[in-house]
Each structure stands twice: as C-alpha cells, then as structure tokens.
Copies of this chain bind each other. A is one copy, B any other.
Amino acid sequence: MVMILLLNVLVGVASDDHARFLLLYGVFQDALVNISQLFPELRGEMNGEKTYAADIESIRQAHARIDPYIHETPVLTSQTLDLLSGKSLFFKSECFQKGGAFKFRGACNAVFSLDDDCVGRGVLTHSSGNHAAALALAAKLRGIPAYIVIPNNAPKCKVENVVRHGGQVIWTEPSMEARELTAKRIQEETGAVLVHPYNDPFIISGQGTISLELLDQVPNIDTIIAPISGGGLISGVALAAKAINPCIQIIAAEPAGADDVAQSKASGQIITLSKVNTIADGLRASLGSLTWPVVRDLVDDVITVEDQEIVEAMGMCYEILKVAVEPSGAIGLAAVLSKKFQASPAFGVSQNIGIVLSGGNVDLGILWQSLHQSCSRT
C-alpha cells in the first residue's frame, strides 16, 4: 500500500449545523455545558434513545470529506511485541498521519465542513499540541487563516509544526484563563471560528475514521486500545468500531498522574483534577460534555499506567517498531504490557488488539533524556 495523498476529488459538504455549533461554542465558550443543553442530540439523550455527538453515519461522511487530504496510515506488527504481550498486536500508526498525529483527521473534517459564509474569517484554537498544528495544516489546505494561541511553555517541536504549516502563533501565559482570554480577544478581532480540540462533533467524527480504516485493514480486531485525554479520539473510535461490530472492546489508556477518566468512570460523573503530573503532554486535558457520554457508555475499561511504563514503551516503539512516538503515542503499548491489563476483564477475551499510536511529535532530546532517566532508575 502506498501511503500517499489520495487524489480522489470529493465535493466538500458544507454544514449549517457545524457552523451554528462552532459559532455558538466560540461566543459562549466559557458556558459550554449550557450550550450543549440547548441541543438534546449533543447531550446524549433524545426520544428516550441514547444518541451522541457523532455516529457511524457522520463518521462515514467525515471519511469521504477528508479522504483526499489524509494519509491512510499503515498498520505495523512485530513478532517480538506479540511474544512480549501474548497477544497479536496491530499498531495503527498515526505518527505517520499528516502533521504527525491523528489530530489532522478531526481538524480537517472541521475545517472542510465550514460553510462559505464563515470560512473566510479563518479558524482559531488555543492548544499547545498536535491539534494546533493539525488545524493550521487543514486551514492552509483550505486557503484560510489559522490563529493559534500557544502557551509559552509548549514543546519546541510542536510550535515548529504550527509555524511550518503556516499557523499564526499568538503567545500566551500557560494558565487556562490566560489562554481563553487571549483566544477570546483574537476571536473578537478576527471573527475566526473557534475549533475545540475534542469537544466538537466534527472533531469526534474525524477521529472516528481511524476505526473505519483499521477494521478494513485488519477485520478480525476484537479490542482497540487508544490513549484518552479529552476523549475526542476514543469517542470517535468507539462509536465507529461498536457500530461496525458491537463486540469490539474499547480500552482507554491513561497516565496514572492524570487519571481523571478512571475516576470519572468510577464515580459516574465527570471528575476534573486540579493538578496533573505526567510526561504525556498530550494527555492532560479533561473530558468534555460531548465526549463524556460516549466514554461513560462505550469505553469498556480504563488502564492507568505510570510514566516509567510510558517511557519504556516509547523506547520499544523506537527500537523494535522503528517508529518515533511521543509519550501519548506510546501509552497504548504501555497499557497492553501492564499488569493492570492482565488483571482486566478485557484481557481474557482479547486476542487481536488494535493499538492507536496516536502521534510522533517528540523532541529527540526529550525522548533521550526520558529514556536515560528511566534507565538510571531501574
């Protein structure tokens, strides 16, 4: 399979709903929970049946929409890692996605869903991570500006990715308040549409295209393990996979130092942490109002892993799989090799496990120092 840009010409589908949601979300960002209450379909309940912010139909539409722009990423396998885990592992390698992470799928779907009335004003996000670079790249492809509010402690390589893709960087202090205030100011000045990194139906649908591809590439997958942070990735993955085969188990992998999802699942409501402590800079967000219902209902288990397990998994990805993955990207492998997974009810019924290597944007120096410290400790 050649992983080149697919050249099928598909007509972009404009969406009034999306513009409405994004505009509302942009204007009343601080009051998101209230906004979603206006839309029963986004709250997870309608006519007595559970519905979510995305479904197999919206995910298939997303796939048709983004197909000309994304890479169909390869699935890697390794007998060494199969032996280590006792399972057949299939690594869906989103580190090879454009922009270096799965985030391009959702960003591309969001940007190409904007209708002609609002698209010219551009898009906006406040993010230190892969979503920012992905949004910049998607905006460049559509020929519109992307305003990226970035905290001044963001990893160098991620900022470089934003700049490389033509994003307009606006620096801010790292606190969430400062980020939101700056974003609000830029939005008022430009009229750009805010695209949230995960709490957005079009983002969730875009990320769900991973399951469509993976289950096409390896039809006998019985379990999918994906990292969880705000829940956009796993929501899309779960909605698509369970629609195709309801028996597929969905496992979230989460850093022990930012285990709000494990706590949320245990308590039955969204828990946010006042402080997180993990090397996985991509996994420090909290669940959103649109992702929580999916995570609550469709994620079968949450496996928490220590930072050292993440670092060891990064080393294995590098040395055995020969791929560069960032800490968030390696956490799925860390989870499948963990004792917690062996103790999970999911373990016994898992044989062919899809693992989402979610991204590869890591400063080599950080990888080396992390591994070095990890070796010194052991």
Contact = CB atoms under 8 A, between A and B. Distances in A.
Interface of A: 1-5, 71, 74-77, 79-80, 90, 95-96, 98, 100, 157, 164, 217-218, 315, 318-319, 321-325, 360, 364-365, 367-368, 371
A157 B74 CA distance: 25
Contact of A364 (B5, B71, B75, B367): B367
A98 B315 CA distance: 18
Contacts of A318: 324, 364
A100 to B, nearest CB: 6
Nearest to A73: B74
A77 B367 contact: no
A321 B73 CA distance: 12
Given A1-B217, A4-B77, A74-B74, 11 more contacts: A1-B1, A4-B218, A5-B77, A79-B98, A96-B321, A100-B322, A157-B319, A322-B325, A322-B360, A364-B371, A368-B368
B360 A364 contact: no
A315 B157 CA distance: 13
A254 B196 CA distance: 48
Contacts of A367: 364
Contact of A96 (B100, B322, B371): B322
A53 to B, nearest CB: 30
Nearest to A72: B1
A218 B3 CA distance: 10
Count chain B CB atoms within 10 A of each CB in A2, A5, A217, A367 and give the residue with the most. A2
Contacts of A365: 368
Contacts of A77: 2-5, 71
A210 to B, nearest CB: 14
A95 B322 CA distance: 7
A2 B368 contact: no
A55 B341 CA distance: 51
Given A95-B322, A324-B322, A324-B323, A315 B364 contact: yes
Contacts of A323: 322-324
A167 to B, nearest CB: 15
Contacts of A95: 322
A325 B323 CA distance: 9
Contacts of A371: 364
Given A218-B2, A324-B318, A324-B319, A368 B360 contact: no
A100 B371 CA distance: 21
Contacts of A325: 322
Contacts of A157: 319
Contact of A75 (B4, B322, B368): B4
Given A364-B318, A364-B319, A90 B2 contact: yes
- Please name the 6 residue pairs, one residue from A and one from B, whose CB atoms are nearest each other, closest first: A1-B1, A322-B360, A74-B74, A368-B368, A322-B324, A95-B322
Contacts of A96: 76, 321-322
B1 A74 contact: yes
Nearest to A357: B322
A47 B258 CA distance: 74
A3 B364 contact: no
A185 to B, nearest CB: 32
Contacts of A98: 79
A217 B76 CA distance: 17
